[in-house]
Amino acid sequence: MSSSVEEAIEEYLVKHAPGFMAVLNSVSQKLYGMPYAKLVISSPSSAYKLLLELYGKRADTAAKLLLILPLIRIQKEHEQQPINQILDLVKKGDDDTVLSLLGLQPAERPSITAMRSITLEEKLFKEIISCAIEVEKLAAEAYSRLARYLNEPHSTALYYISAESSIHARIYSKIFSTLYRDEQPVCKRAQTVPFIQELKNIITLSPENTAPDIKTIINKLRFMATLENDVDAEYFMILVSPVLHKVLREPYKTIYGSVLEAIVRDEEDHKRIVSNIVNKLERKMIEQ
């Protein structure tokens, strides 16, 4: 049972957060002497401590996406469990209750094998940065496409997000070149990542001379704002930036570190802007 759950967690993360298993496995092996998926089902609270080490003040967001969601999504009968409630139990260290709620057998809590600063190798980030570049390019095009179907002030807000996404793609491309010189970024798993495919669907949503109905537009915007509670383009980028600066060296680390922090704030702002647009459009649709 435990091995099949481990495999399911790893498959979920490979599919929904491309590139991150390499980083999570590396850190988990260094701290706990086991793969990340095994750590998750052995001690969710220890997995949270790992994410706290990587993400600091944004550990809760990372934990929802890289710890809680994999646990509840892989078992259909438990996927309605409240994410915030599970996270609170994890942060309190109540592994037995968390695992029991999710139908898993409580296990002996692993101990940290080495208390030391985490060193991350450059090679671990090649797929993450490659996918980040593709996601930002696709997001820029998707937001621009949706903006064409809306009136002011919604269209301008989406064009603004599109422009910022294009800038983010250029920044990640520069970082990729800094780390990997003459290599070209390739997001190898793009065809199997749901949110990347959804971005492509939005880009080809409708011919240039016609517009989709407002309900379709709202559903696409709900996806862009992660109102369905899963990993999407904006959440993926929120996961990327905080850990990426850890692998950079000076003089890039200080400057790009500040830029990457600004990108995280941009992504969080994007979600709020799109959520506000969705609320306005839904209210208008009800009133009509």
Q: Is the pLDDT of residue 280 over 90?
A: yes
C-alpha 182/C-alpha 177 separation (Å) is 7
- 226 and 267 share a domain? yes
Mean pLDDT of 198-217: 84
pLDDT in tens, 55-93: 999 999 999 999 998 888 876 665 567 888 999 999 999
The string of pLDDT tens digits covering residues 12-21 is: 999 889 999 9
Query: Looking at residue 84, what is its pLDDT?
Result: 87
Contacts of 59 (CB under 8 A, 6+ apart): 48, 51, 52
- Of 42, 70, 101, the last residue of a domain is 101
> Do residues 34 and 145 both lie within one domain?
no
* In-domain check, residue 45: yes
Is residue 207 over pLDDT 70? no
Is 82 in the same domain as 131?
no
Instruction: Report angle CA 232, 142, 191 to the nearest 5 degrees.
Output: 55
DSSP letter string, 189-219: TGGG-HHHHHHHHHHTSS-TT----HHHHHH
pLDDT at residue 165, as a whole number: 96
Domain assignment present for residue 117? The answer is no
More confident residue, 224 or 160: 160
Cβ-based neighbour number of residue 37 at 10 Å = 25
Looking at residue 212, what is its pLDDT?
87
Residue 274 has pLDDT above 90, yes or no: yes
Token reading at 1 = 């049972």
Q: What CA dihedral angle connects 145, 16, 230 and 147, to 10 degrees?
A: -10
pTM here?
0.89
Residue 224 lies in a domain: yes
Same domain for 130 and 93, yes or no, is no
d(CA 78, CA 231): 18
Residue of 249, 269, 271, 251 whose CA lies nearest to 261: 269
What value does the mean pLDDT of the chain take? 88
In a domain, 109, yes or no: no
| Domain finish residue from 101, 132, 156 | 101
User: Which one has a higher pLDDT value, 112 or 182?
Assistant: 182
Q: Say yes or no to pLDDT of 185 above 70.
A: yes
Let me know whether 139 and 89 are in one domain.
Answer: no
Q: Which domain holds residue 86?
A: 2-101
Are 181 and 249 members of one domain?
Answer: yes
Residues 152 and 278 in one domain: yes
Domain total of the chain: 2
Q: What is the CATH number of the domain that holds 263?
A: 1.20.1260.10
Tell whether 80 and 40 lie within a shared domain: yes
**Whole-number pLDDT of residue 119:** 73
Instruction: Give the model's pLDDT for residue 231.
Output: 60
CATH number assigned to the domain comprising residue 95: 1.10.1200
132 shares a domain with 97: no
Alpha carbon dihedral 50, 54, 55, 60, in 10-degree steps, equals: -10
Output the CA–CA distances (angstroms, integers) from residue 32 to 99, 121, 128, 239, in the order listed: 19, 18, 23, 22
Regarding whether 150 and 19 lie in a shared domain, the answer is no
Query: Predicted confidence band at 236 (pLDDT cuts at 50, 70, 90)?
Result: confident
Domain membership of residue 115 (yes or no) is no
128, part of any domain: yes
The pLDDT confidence band at residue 234, using thresholds 50, 70 and 90, is confident
- pLDDT tens readout for residues 29-58: 989 999 999 999 999 999 999 999 999 999
Residue whose pair of structure tokens reads 């086991």 in the numeric block:
34
Q: Is residue 113 part of a domain?
A: no
- 275 in the same domain as 207: yes
Distance from C-alpha of 119 to C-alpha of 77, rounded to nearest angstrom: 38
Give residue 170's Cα distance to chain centre: 19
Please write the tens of the pLDDT for every residue from 86-138: 999 999 999 999 888 888 876 656 665 555 556 788 899 999 999 999 999 99
pLDDT for the residue 202:
92
In terms of DSSP H, where are the helices of 106-153?
Answer: 126-147
Q: Are residues 141 and 235 in the same domain?
A: yes
pLDDT on residue 102: 82
Residues 6+ apart with CB under 8 A from 238: 58, 61, 264, 267, 268
What is the pLDDT, as a whole number, of residue 245?
Answer: 83
Q: Is residue 77 part of a domain?
A: yes
